[in-house]
Structure formats: C-alpha cells, structure tokens
Amino acid sequence: MEFWKASVYGKDYGDMLDLEVSLLKSNGAGARKYKHKSEVAVDTELMKLLHRELTDAERVATHEFFLTLVVCNTVIPISLDDNGSIDYQGESPDEQALVAAAAAYGYTLCERTSGHIVVDVNGEKLRLDVLGLHEFDSVRKRMSVVIRFPNNSVKVLVKGADTSMFSVIAKNTDKADDLARETQKHLTDYSSIGLRTLVIAAKDLSKAELEQWQCRYENASTSLTDRAIKLRQTASIVESELSLVGATAIEDRLQEGVPETIESLRQAGIKVWVLTGDKQETAISIGLACKLLTSDMQMIVINGNSETNCRNLLLDAKAKYGVASTCAKRKNFELKSSADKNDLQPANYKTSSEVPQWESVKEEAEVNGPLALVIDGNSLVYILEKDLESELFDLATFCNVVLCCRVAPLQKAGIVDLIKSRTDDMTLAIGDGANDVSMIQMADVGIGICGQEGRQAVMASDFAMGQFRFLKRLLLVHGHWNYQRIAYLVLYNFYRNAVFVLMLFWYILCSAFSTTSALTDWSSVLYSVIYTSIPTVVVGVLDKDLNHRTLLEYPKLYGAGHRHEAYNLHLFWVTMLDTLWQSLVLFYIPLFTYNESTVDMWSLGSLWTIAVVILVNIHLAMDIQQWVSITQMAVWGSIFISYGCMLLLDSIPVFPNYWTIYHLAASPPYWLTIILITIIALLPRFLVKIVYQRFWPSDIQIAREAEILLERPVSLPKKRGGRST
C-alpha cells in the first residue's frame, strides 16, 4: 500500500510528488525528529499549504484532513531505536499507509493508548483525549473517533467509503455542494487509474450532542445483548451532517505474478470471479491490470437502486444476449440430446427457430466477444434478498468473468452459496483479510493468503500460502497430479479387489457351492494388507503423468479433470469388464493345466495366490507413468515379499497347505502357468492401450510424448574428418 493522491477542500494534490522533499525534512536541520521505516513522496504544493497559518478555511480543512488520517485508526506506533526511528503496526495496511503519509507531511503519531493520542505536528506535541471510537463495520462502511482538543473543543473525525459517506455529508450551502461535486469528480479520477479511495469528513460537536452521545455510547458499550446494533445506532448520532474535508487515494499494488496466474487459470477452463469492496471504477481498472478483463470483452453493468430496477436490468441483459433461464436450459438440453450428436449445441444458446429473426440478428451483432458482468453491492442487496437469485445466476454463469464491487463480507459468502446451491461445481475462495473469512468458509476449498492483512483468513482456510501466484502451481500442478492419482487409485482398487473376489467366485461355482476353500484365511487377509497394499500407496503418492514445467506451460491440460477423462462411468465398466476377463483367465488356466494331475486344491490355491499377486502388480506396472527407485522397490519387492510369506506359511505343519508350494515350484509347468496367465490376462488391455494411444491419443498422452522427445539427446550426423554438421 502506498499513498499517492489526495483531494483536500476540493483541490487535487499528488501530481507534484517529490521524495527528496520528504528526505530533506527527515535529515535537514530543524526538521522533524522522527525517522520512519518507509519514506513517502510528498506533494510540494500541499506541503507549502501546511506551513501557512490556521486562518483561512482551506488551511483548517487541511489540518483536519491530516488529523483524521493520523487519529481515526487503530495503528500502534512502535519505537525501533533511540534515534527516533518509528514504525507502525495495524490491522489494515490501508491504515498504516495513511498514517505513514500523514507522518511524511509532518503529522506523526507518537503515542496511542485507550484514553489519549499524542501527535507531533511539525515539531509540536498535540495531546488529544479519545472519548470514543466506532470501528469500521460492513453495514456503516465507515469509521469515526470522537476526540477532545486541549482547548476543550470536541470533534468527530470520520473516514469511510464514498457510498456511505456522501449520504451523511451536510449540503446546506452552495459551497458544500460545490465541494462535494469536486470531491466526487476526483474520486472518479482516482478510481479510474486503480487507486483505492476513502472520504474524510469532520464535525464539531455541541455540548448537548456530546452528552447525548456519551450516554448512549456507555450504555451500548456495556450492553450484553445486541451490542453491535446499539453501537451502530449510537454512531448515527455523531455521524450525521458532517463537513466534507477531502478524500485519499492509495495504490494497492498487485503482487508479483497475479496477471499471469489469472490468465493461466482462465486458460485452464476455471471461471474466475472477483469479489471486492473497492469502487466500481477501481475494480474495473484493477481487473484490466491483472488481465481478468480484456479489451475485447463486452461489459454488462448492473447498478440498481431498487428491486424493480435490478429486475429490469437483469432481464434486459438476458434478453439482449440471449441468456436462457435455468428451466429453459434444461428443456433445451433435453431436446438437443435427442438429436444427432454432431449437431449438439450448448443448451444456453438459442437457435433461429426459437427466437424471432430480428432478435437472432441482434444477438450476432451484440455477442461478438467474451462477456463480463460487473455488479455493485447495492444491487446485490436487492438481488440476494429477493427472488432475483435465479436471474443473476443465469446471467453470471453465461458470462466469462464476473466482477462484484462494493460488496460486504456476507454478500461475498452469498455469491459463493449461490453457485454451490445451484450447481455441482467445486468452488474455491481465496482471500487475505478478515472480510474474506465468511467467503472462505462458505466455499468448498478455502485458501488464505498470509500477508499484511493479518492471519484471520489463514486461520479460517483449508490451505495457506504466502502469495497469490502460488495458486497457479497448487491447482495446475498439484491439483492435476492429485486428480490423476485419485482417479486411477479408485479404479485400481476396484480392480484389485474384484479380480481376487471373482477368482474365488469361479471356484465356488466349480465346487457346486460347497463350503470348501482353496485359499487359507491368512492368504485372504495378507492379500490386501501386505501383498498388494504397498505398491498402491507408493503409486498413489509419487506417480506423476507429466512434469511440473509442462503443466505450467500448457494450462489447458488441467481440462482433463473437467472432462472426467481419468474417471467416469464408461471407464469404470470397461475396467470391470477387463477384471472379469482377467479373473476367468486367472482361475481356468491353472485348472486346465493341472486337470489330469494329482495336484490337490490347496496346491492350486497357492498357485492362484501367487498368480493374482503377480498379475495385479504387473497390471499396476503397465500404468505407472513415472518410474523412480522407490516405485521399483515397491512393485517388484511386493512380489518377492509375497513369495517369502507364502514359503513361510507353507512351512507351518498345522496349516492344510503345508509344503504345497515347494512341490509346485519344483516343476516347470508351475512357472509356465504363471507366465501364461500374466500374458493372456493382460494382452487385451495392452492391445487396447496401444490402439487408443496410436489413433485416439489424449492431450496428456501427446504431452508425454513431447516430453520424451525433448529429453532424448539429439545425435548430429558427422562430416568426414570427425566434425559435426
């Protein structure tokens, strides 16, 4: 945060910023004795105005302006050393920036307690008694402090958002109207270049107003019920008929990598919505700076001041751009699903037969680029609390980008709940301040950024990160890996357990549903606990289909999860069909091989146990994308561990399969049967994988081949004489 511009008494300052003047004031003789951790460039003309006598109205307004900046906050000054170096700590970086700016102009906050504030005004100490503080809340959208000056005069100093401040500004004279008009013009100019604005106002309190306020303030502060509501009602006593002083403009610089991150997320098919408390002009400017909004986007602006107005704006926008309602979308989709798949169109587009011809031509003329919806908090008050949620949902989901400005914390949570309650899509909310907590808790996945705004968002989130740009790697890399691993593990675990159970089922059929069993209880237990569990865990944790550089370079690869390529109903039943085939091969090949022999069922049980362990591990090895040393040890070591356990179990005389594996392993048909089972069982799967990768490769398979080709060293042909061409 950095203080840039100010509007004081209707005059714009900030065009003549000079850091050398501030440094000169810090180091020169007779200058201020406090050194600040960060220096702020000052406006030379405004600095000259501050050194004039407190006689004219402009000078008094400037004095009240900087007093409000340094007093109306919760910032605590911290002395760094004995040389007068001072730093400021506060709940909000906005407040810290305003206090630092006031210090640069000679108004230094030296001491703060619950009862008084000490301010150094150009070398003179000014002690102010704090009679009461009304902190900022999402309803009032302003903050005020009541102070008593050394001459016993009492003032209320207020700062807040322009939408809430101009409604309590006194406009009883032409001068006040002109001042309000000029200040609003400056606010619009500041917002258009992406600066965050606040309006400053003040008021002298009479003795009667002070006594009334003090009585109500003490009762409200000590109330055990509805304290927030009573304090809000008490603040309205002094926050009325205020005298406009000016406005501030702070630059909230984007973190490194924010534009690139948002652009990558949008390329990945993720819809990005921004919910902010800034002015509409500021939000649009920041949206353009972070590449959320582009120059080719058409903006739909919803700024309503009543329920009827908001309804008309939403319906007009839906009619203009051909947005179908939710019920119409479902009906339209059902009609189109019965048509030819090649002619299938998205359900939210109307055909020429569904709308009049002139409207269809109008849509083609209007919708010639992506759409962005811009809506303010005042409109959301009528939309979220009335029966207009469905209209907003239809329009918002039709647009590529949604930008909500001047929204309260509960409205942020309401927007997230609007999507959660009407779709099956996953929602992710990311924020860095206390006003984002409700939104983070409402979303399916909440991410808190640990920064200057404090740790409230981090404490309420599922994941915490230091900067917004880390979200790109979290989603596009780790999110992709996690989806691929989990999707495969679900299918593999179904396969791994089903092939073992089906093998036992075929034995029950062949034994005429008798109570006999070819496998010992230990073999059944150890199959899932030891024989096949370790490779499953290792692959589920370490396997990577693509490296992180490829995933970051091509964000569209994240779309595989949106399309459910790794796990879907069709893939599940194909896997079950393959499982059925492998179980048949696994059971009947040993049965036919030893049909005319004297091998008993316990010997066949030992063979089936070893064969199924080898089969499922080779099946897993066929699908492993990245082989590392621990994966090799897990897969092949699992087979050797299984053999070791089988040798140990078959060496115990009390078990019915005593010494069976020693007799079988000594004959060549035993090993040939295992090899034959593995080849025949996996051959259809192997052929299908080759055909699909050869003729219908997915984006991930193409990217993997590109990685392999880039990793191969290129051998250059050599000329005669040994030099390469």
Question: What mean pLDDT comes out for the span 90-97?
Answer: 82
User: Is the pLDDT reported for residue 514 higher than 70?
Assistant: yes
Q: Tell me what pLDDT residue 707 has.
A: 86
Half-sphere exposure at residue 489, Cβ-oriented, CA atoms within 13 angstroms = 19
Identify which has the larger pLDDT, 404 or 350.
404
Query: Based on the domain organization, do 262 and 196 belong to the same domain?
Result: no
Whole-number pLDDT of residue 16: 63
Residue 160 phi/psi, 5-degree rounding, is: 180, -175
Q: Residue 347's pLDDT is what? A: 39
Same domain for 128 and 186?
A: yes
CATH of the domain at 36: 3.40.1110.10
Residue 76 lies in a domain: yes
Alpha helices in 83-156 (DSSP H): 93-104
Burial of 207 (0-12, 13-18, 19+ CB in 10 A): exposed
The arrangement of strands across the sheet holding 35-36 comes to 35-36, 85-89, 76-79
Indicate if the pLDDT at residue 207 is higher than 60.
Answer: yes
User: Nearest Cα to 16, choosing from 36, 41, 38?
Assistant: 41
- Whether residue 595 is found in the same domain as residue 543: yes
Same domain? 614 vs 669:
yes
- What percent of the chain is predicted at pLDDT more than 70? 87
Better-predicted residue by pLDDT, 445 or 305: 445
Same domain, residue pair 362 and 502: no
pLDDT of 722 > 60? The answer is no
Neighbouring C-alpha atoms within 13 Å toward the C-beta of 148? 13
- What integer best gives the mean pLDDT of the chain? 84
- Domain-embedded: residue 318: yes
415 in a structural domain: no
The pTM of the full predicted model, rounded to 2 decimals, is: 0.76
pLDDT value at 63 more than 60: yes
Q: How confident is the model at residue 92 (pLDDT cuts 50, 70, 90)?
A: confident
Domain end position, chosen among 375, 407, 439: 407
Side-chain-facing half-sphere of 101: CA atoms under 13 Å: 27
183 pLDDT band, cuts 50/70/90, is very high
Q: Which residues of 473-500 are buried (b: 16+ CB within 10 A; e: fewer)?
A: bbbbbebbbebbbebbbebbeebbebbb
Nearest to 437 by CA among 409, 418, 465: 409
Q: What does R_g of the chain's alpha carbons equal in angstroms? A: 36
Q: Where are the beta strands (DSSP E) in 271-340?
A: 273-275, 298-302
Do residue 266 and residue 247 come from a single domain? no
Q: How many Cα atoms are found within 13 Å in the side-chain-facing hemisphere of 477?
A: 13
Provide mean pLDDT across the span 673-680.
Answer: 94
Question: How many structural domains compose the chain?
Answer: 3
| Residue 136: per-residue pLDDT | 86
Q: Do 277 and 386 reside in the same domain of the chain?
A: yes
- Range name among 20-29, 76-85, 137-146, 339-348 with the lowest pLDDT average: 339-348
Confidence of residue 19 (pLDDT cuts 50, 70, 90): low
Residue 598 within a domain: yes
**Per-residue b or e along 131-144, where b marks 16 or more CB atoms closer than 10 Å to that residue's CB:** bbbbebeeebbbbb
Residue-level pLDDT at 36: 64
State pLDDT tens for residues 604-637. 888 888 999 999 999 999 999 999 999 999 999 9
Q: Is the pLDDT of residue 518 over 70?
A: yes
Side-chain-facing half-sphere of 334: CA atoms under 13 Å: 5
Residues 400 and 522 in one domain: no
Question: Domain for residue 718, yes or no?
Answer: no
Last residue of a domain, one of 386, 407, 428: 407
Q: What pLDDT score does 281 carry?
A: 84
Compute CA distances 459 → 311, 414, 463, 467, whole Å: 38, 21, 9, 16
- pLDDT for residue 84 is more than 80: no
Section 378-398 average pLDDT: 88
Residue by residue, DSSP assigns 207-250 as HHHHHHHHHHHHHHHT-SSSHHHHHHHHHHHHSSSBEEEEEEEE
Whether residues 65 and 163 fall in one domain:
yes
pLDDT of residue 343: 40
Mean pLDDT, residues 249-257 taken together: 84
Which among 194, 182, 34 has a CA at the least distance from the CA of 104? Answer: 34
Q: What is the pLDDT at residue 82?
A: 65
pLDDT of residue 656: 74
| CA neighbor of 68 nearest in space, from 40, 105, 113, 34 | 105
Q: Which residue is it, tokens 């948002």?
A: 262
CA 369 to CA 399: how far, in whole Å? 10
Distances (CA, A) of 183 to 10, 70, 158, 187, 564: 6, 21, 16, 6, 54
pLDDT of 341 > 80? The answer is no
Q: Taking 50 as the threshold, does the pLDDT of residue 349 lie above it?
A: no
The pair of structure tokens assigned to 139 is 């309803």
Q: Which residue has the higher pLDDT, 716 or 429?
A: 429
Residue 400: domain span: 258-407
β strands within 396-543, DSSP E = 401-405, 428-431, 445-449, 463-465
The pLDDT confidence band at residue 351, using thresholds 50, 70 and 90, is very low
**Residue 367: its pLDDT value, please?**
60
Between these two residues, 605 and 403, which has the higher pLDDT value?
403
Tell whether 487 and 351 lie within a shared domain: no
Judge whether 457 lies within some domain.
no
- Cα separation values, 286 from 189, 447, 600, Å: 14, 21, 78
For residue range 554-586, list pLDDT tens digits in order.
999 999 999 999 999 999 999 999 999 999 999
pLDDT at 654 over 90: no
Instruction: Check whether residue 375 and residue 478 sit in a common domain.
Output: no
Specify the pLDDT at position 512. Answer: 77
Q: Tell me phi and psi for residue 202, to 5 degrees.
A: -150, 165
Asked, for residue 724, whether it belongs to a domain, the answer is no
Task: Report the pLDDT value the prediction gives residue 83, as an integer from 0 to 100.
Answer: 66
In a domain, 454, yes or no: no
Q: What percent of the chain is predicted at pLDDT more than 90?
A: 41
Q: What is the spatial distance between Cα 190 and Cα 213, in angstroms, rounded to a whole number?
A: 35
Give tens-digit pLDDT for 418-461.
999 999 889 999 998 888 899 999 999 999 998 776 688 899 99
Residue 406: pLDDT band with limits 50, 70, 90: confident
Question: Does residue 395 sit in the same domain as residue 491?
Answer: no
